[in-house]
Amino acid sequence: MNLQFLSILLEREGYNIQCATNGETALRSAQTVPPDLILLDITMPEMDGYEVCRRLKANSTTAEIPVIFVSAIDASLTRDQVFAVGGMDYVAKPYRIQDLLSSVQKALEKSPLLSV
């Protein structure tokens, strides 16, 4: 599933979407207008998703943003590394749409940013 399709899917579910196609753009965007949640691939140009997540978690402006990794790389080592860098969940591609939406909903429910 490509980025454009995923964006349309999430928008239809009522989410406001902001896309970045590389790590540097994602970091700048998250620092400028912190999102409620980040979906992050492991394999990206310039900087992998692990490094993006490490930098997000090291920055006080973005540290509390929940990060869900969505990637075609599926191995127990990958899951361990996702959680080690601060990821909240890991959804393997190809994924069922309902599984991804469920992960997004759970992450938002647990997010300290949205707690009332």
Q: Domain spanning 3-105: which superfamily?
A: Response regulator (3.40.50.2300)
**What digits encode the pLDDT tens for the residues 86-100?**
999 999 888 888 999
pLDDT class of 59 with cuts at 50, 70, 90: very high
pLDDT at 116 over 50: no
Average pLDDT over residues 24-42: 93
Model confidence, pTM: 0.88
**Collapsed DSSP state (helix, strand, coil) of residue 56:** helix
Across the beta sheet with 89-92, the strand order is 38-40, 67-71, 89-92
How is residue 35 annotated by DSSP? -
